[in-house]
Amino acid sequence: MGTIKQVIKRDGALVDFTPQRISNAIYRAAVAVGGRDRERAEWLGAQVVKTLEAQHTGSEPPHIEEIQDIVEKVLIENGHARVAKAYILYRNERALRRTAHRQLGILNSDNIPWQKIWHVLDWAVDHGLNTVEGLNARMARGEFNDIIIESEAAYAEDLENAANGILERQQEIKVVIVCGPSSSGKTTTTLKLEERLSRHGMRFVALNVDNYFFDLSMHPKDEFGDYDFETPQALDMALISQQLSQLVAGEEVQIPYYDFKTGQRSHKTTPMKLGPGDVLLIDSLHGLYPPMTESVAPERKFKVYLEPLLQMKGSNGKYVRWTDIRLIRRMLRDAAFRAYDPRMTLTHWHYVRSSELRHIIPNNPTADYIVNSAMPYELPIYAAKLGASFAQWAVEFKDDPLRQDAWSRAVRVHDLMKAVTPQPDDSPIPGDSVIREFIGNSTLKYH
């Protein structure tokens, strides 16, 4: 008899340990990739049990997640990479389903683009980038440049698919919208989409919705004196919708001008009218927010949603949070281009997150195409640039009752950064990469 008698389930319950379930799971994964060697599955299962017993010599039962981690390790170490991939994908599919079930009645699970996430995860497993450990291992082998090339190629494929979707409806579309939460890479994606589509004869006219901000005096402040620019209510949605309808109908409108220095909408306006073949191009946080474009018929719009949908587990076994990637991106961009202290970006992030959960993410199911803007190689770059800062903030905000949101985010990102091998040299990153939008030295001309 083995030394392990019980296992801790995900809900904390104790159940009897059944080694046969391990070999059965391995065999199912093998069958998924065309294997039928049950004896080999039994042998591999025995190796998992042997490793598990060596790690647990005390009275504390192992957790189910720990057992599954060992299964992945044993499969890979014994040359069964394809079986390991099938097992990882199946395991993560079950995890996604559990998350969806937990969210029923709390958050509409349709807000999460499961099919897209599955595709991204599949890519990550194929490239050995579904864990921080795998990322570090590839870097240790001198493959950082290869990771950049592979990541950029995946993003380019997404852009090409989005462009092809627009071209298929070229004759009817009058408005192309690029939307996503803060620091998802909208500006770069918009420019690259425009470049691709222009090669096919499409002509674009950009509409800058920042000019539709209400006067700053109309914005409330919090106890720290911060304005909330993240909410769609900061924009004159009624005027945007009205002028979009007029532009699509071929009418001329007077586009307002917002002066960010004074915080007021100026009396100065700019005339705009679409030519017969012109298409409006909108890059906006709130491009999917219904009131913005409700005056334009659905068949006249193509909506692209993007977010860094990274599928990578940290050293704690949990997936890296997309919001943390975007927080780091915005910190770097704010510091580089807006002379804004990254610490202030962190303390303001609760506004960003609150607004996007209410007004941006719930609308992503209405998108025509979803682009993944995550680059696995960006984590090592960020670890070098901001790792020490997050360590400092994790201490600074610990006992500040008004900054608990900033503290919890700082602690989480600090723990992630500690596990990532830092890469101080960002020179291999292409000049037109979406990451250059945040770290600087882009070869693209941002308007």
pLDDT tens-digit series, residues 9-27:
876 878 889 898 898 888 8
- Are 179 and 71 part of one and the same domain? no
Q: Are residues 18 and 150 in the same domain?
A: no
Is residue 445 in some structural domain? no
Q: Is 82 exposed, middle or buried (0-12, 13-18, 19+ CB in 10 A)?
A: middle
**Mean pLDDT computed over 430-434:** 98
Are 99 and 142 in a shared domain? no
Q: Name the phi and psi angles at 265, rounded to 5.
A: -80, 125
- pLDDT tier at 164 (50, 70, 90 boundaries)? very high
Give domain status of residue 447, yes or no.
no
Domain assignment present for residue 29? The answer is: yes
Backbone angles phi, psi at 320, to 5 degrees: -60, 135
Residue 113 lies in a domain: no
pLDDT digits (tens, 9 = 90+) for 48-89: 999 999 988 777 889 999 999 999 999 999 999 999 998 888
**32 and 153 belong to one structural domain:** no
Q: Are residues 237 and 140 in the same domain?
A: yes
For residue 313, list its beta bridge partners: 131, 319
Q: Which residues of 390-410 are buried (b: 16+ CB within 10 A; e: fewer)?
A: bbebbeebeeeeebebbbebb
On whether both 298 and 149 belong to a single domain, the answer is: yes
Q: Mark whether 13 and 138 lie in a shared domain.
A: no
Number of folded domains in the chain? 2
The whole-angstrom separation of Cα 408 and Cα 143 is 33
Out of 21-35, 151-165, 284-298, least confident range: 21-35
302: number of Cβ within 10 Å: 25
Report the pLDDT value the prediction gives residue 98, as an integer from 0 to 100.
62
Residue 118 lies in a domain: no
The predicted model scores a pTM of 0.83
Here the CATH number for the domain that contains residue 330 is 3.40.50.300
Mean pLDDT of 245-268: 93
Alpha-carbon torsion (233, 234, 235, 239), positive or negative: positive
No. of H helices and E strands in the chain? 15, 9
pLDDT at 43 over 60: yes
Query: Which range of residues forms the domain containing residue 72?
Result: 6-106
393 contacts 319 by C-beta, under 8 angstroms: no
The predicted pLDDT at position 102 comes to 44
In a domain, 224, yes or no: yes
SS (H, E, C) 52-118: HHHHCCCCCCCEHHHHHHHHHHHHHHCCCHHHHHHHHHHHHHHHHHHHHHHHCCCCCHHHCCHHHHH
Distance linking the first and last C-alpha atoms of the chain: 70
Same domain, 326 and 363: yes
Residues 96 and 235 in one domain: no
In this structure, is residue 166 part of a structural domain?
yes
Which residues neighbour 127 within 8 Å (Cβ) at sequence distance 6 or greater? 147, 150, 376
Say yes or no: 95 and 153 in one domain. no
pLDDT, position 288: 95
Question: Per the domain annotation, does 111 fall within a domain?
Answer: no
Tens of pLDDT, residue by residue over 367-423, are 999 999 999 999 999 999 999 999 999 999 998 888 999 999 999 999 999 999 999
139 and 36 share one domain: no
Q: Over the chain, what is the mean pLDDT? A: 90
- Residues 100, 145 within the same domain: no
- What is the rounded distance in angstroms from the CA atom of residue 103 to the CA atom of residue 111? 11
